């Protein structure tokens, strides 16, 4: 019998598939990426083949109808050769928090 791995996530993840611009520290232009999923404390993205460095600082945002722009900032804590990377969020605005609360209420 095999044990399934323990899910250590602190917050629920919500799938999005939303195109967003990510501004990475050290890059002049933002990357257009797909925001695959988001939680209160993190976000997972897919690039179009670009590599993202571990420990880079990044900022992203998006606009939802009837609310101000959702903004978040964090540190790249995981990146792989497929172009996926994960941010551990350390700063979000009220609109971002409200968006997450809305997703929680709908699930």
Residue carrying structure tokens 């939303």: 18
Q: Which residues contact 93 (CB under 8 A, 6 or more apart)?
A: 68, 69, 70, 71, 72
For the stretch 40-54, pLDDT in tens is 999 999 999 999 999
CA atoms within 13 A on the CB side of 20: 26
For the stretch 51-97, pLDDT in tens is 999 999 999 999 988 878 999 999 999 999 999 999 999 999 999 99
This prediction has a pTM of 0.88
Distance CA 88, CA 54 (A): 11
3-state DSSP assignment of residue 32: strand
37 φ, ψ (degrees, to nearest 5): -155, 165
């Amino acid at each position: 019998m095999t044990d399934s791995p323990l899910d250590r996530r602190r917050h629920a993840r919500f799938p999005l598939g939303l195109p967003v611009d990510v501004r990475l520290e050290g890059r002049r232009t933002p990357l257009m990426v797909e925001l695959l999923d988001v939680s209160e404390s993190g976000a997972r993205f897919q690039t179009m083949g670009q590599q993202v460095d571990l420990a880079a600082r990044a900022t992203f945002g998006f606009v939802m109808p009837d609310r101000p722009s959702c903004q978040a900032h964090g540190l790249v804590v995981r990146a792989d050769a497929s172009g996926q990377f994960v941010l551990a969020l350390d700063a979000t605005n009220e609109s971002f928090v409200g968006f997450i609360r809305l997703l929680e209420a709908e699930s």
